[in-house]
Amino acid sequence: MDCITCINFYFSFIGLCTRTDELIAFLQAHQVLPRTIDCPMCKKPCALVQDGFRLRFRCRRTLKEYKKELSKKCNFSVSAMKGTIFDGSRLDITTICHFICHWLHGPYPRQLFLMEQLQISSNTFITWSSFCREVCINYLTRNSMVLGGEGVTVEIDEAMIGRLEGRIDGRWFLGGFERGTNNIFIVPIPIRNAATLLQVVRNRIRPGTTIISDCWRAYDCLNHEGFDQFTVDHGVTFVDPFTGAHTQNIDRLWRDVRGRISRYGRKEGHMVGYLAEFMFKRLVNRTNLIHEFMRAAAILYPPSVPTNGEEDPEESTPGPSNAS
């Protein structure tokens, strides 16, 4: 199997998970699992075998000792999961892949459904959800977009995300929406002032871009930084009657963000991860979610199979966490 015949649809992948050999081949094609290693003793490829629900590389060839009539079995054995997303988990790869598939494609609320269907604990659900968001954060960091350019219009606006009714806590984020391409960025702003805003704009928007924003005074500096700026006073109108400027696209983006970030079991300290999940699922075509996620997981947690000739202990240091 290779990525040309990649399986990305929900039910197709769920079916694949029940065929262990094909699932292993799929994970190897996406570099989540190593294909093979050479035995450091006899220099020949090791066999990949299942040890319970774990995978190991083993060599059982007969070795002849130099200048001796004696022969012995090579007992080299090493985990095939070292360093990977499966390292250290007490769940089998089928259960983990079922979890990832539904996490990517399933609707909210999903915690009770996955706990019941996969027979996992609440802590396990939280651990693996956090891991999945780590993969999304890493993907977005490596594929961060710079918007705009000459003749291009970008709408920007800030929003507080995570504030619950009756509480004032939450985190401020700055978002950008590029007209014509629908490309976006969303970044946290630890301090809501002109200096922080300008730093984000410099990093995320090219000079010469036409920027449309609201009338917050912190945006006044943009005209002096190589940008053409138009403003809309939302206290008066949503479309400037003289310039036609509006921020309806970025406003719609914030509505989507608030609508799609689950309120079920939400933790304010994980807000960056929630937004990373939202952006990953928005930027990646739905039919490529599994493919892109698995490739991203392989980059974040690459296989690191030791080849020192010694049997390694059972997995003890996991990729995502030390939970089930």
pLDDT in tens, 151-177: 888 898 888 886 654 455 667 888 999
Q: How confident is the model at residue 242 (pLDDT cuts 50, 70, 90)?
A: very low
d(CA 221, CA 285): 36
Residue 322, pLDDT > 50, answer: no
Percent residues over pLDDT 70 in the chain: 73
By mean pLDDT, which of 42-56, 114-128, 233-247 is the weakest?
A: 233-247
138-147, 160-169, 277-286: the lowest-pLDDT one: 160-169
Token pair of 232 as six digits: 């809309």
Domain ranges in the chain?
A: 3-141+289-300, 153-285
Distance CA 146, CA 139 (A): 15
Residue that wins the pLDDT comparison between 3 and 205:
205
Q: What is the pLDDT of residue 264?
A: 52
pLDDT at 299 over 90: yes
| Residue that wins the pLDDT comparison between 67 and 246 | 246
Phi/psi zone of residue 168: left (φ > 0), alpha (ψ -120 to 50 degrees), beta?
A: alpha
Per-residue confidence (pLDDT) for residue 160, from 0 to 100: 83
The predicted-structure confidence for 175-200, as pLDDT tens digits, reads as follows 999 998 988 999 888 888 878 888 88
pLDDT value at residue 84? 93
> What is the value of pTM for the model shown?
0.79
Architecture of the domain made up of 153-285: 2-Layer Sandwich (3.30)
Residue 235 confidence class, pLDDT cut points 50, 70, 90:
very low
- The most confident of the ranges 84-93, 150-159, 244-253 is 84-93
Structure-derived torsion over alpha carbons of residues 190, 194, 196, 197, reported in degrees to the nearest 10: 100
Ranges assigned E (strand) in 36-170 = 47-51, 54-58, 62-64, 71-73, 77-79, 153-161
Average pLDDT, the chain: 79
Beta bridge partners of 51: 54
**Average pLDDT, integer, range 235-263:** 65
Give the DSSP per-residue string, 246-307. Answer: B-HHHHHHHHHHHHHS--TT--GGGHHHHHHHHHHHHHS-GGGHHHHHHHHHHHHS------
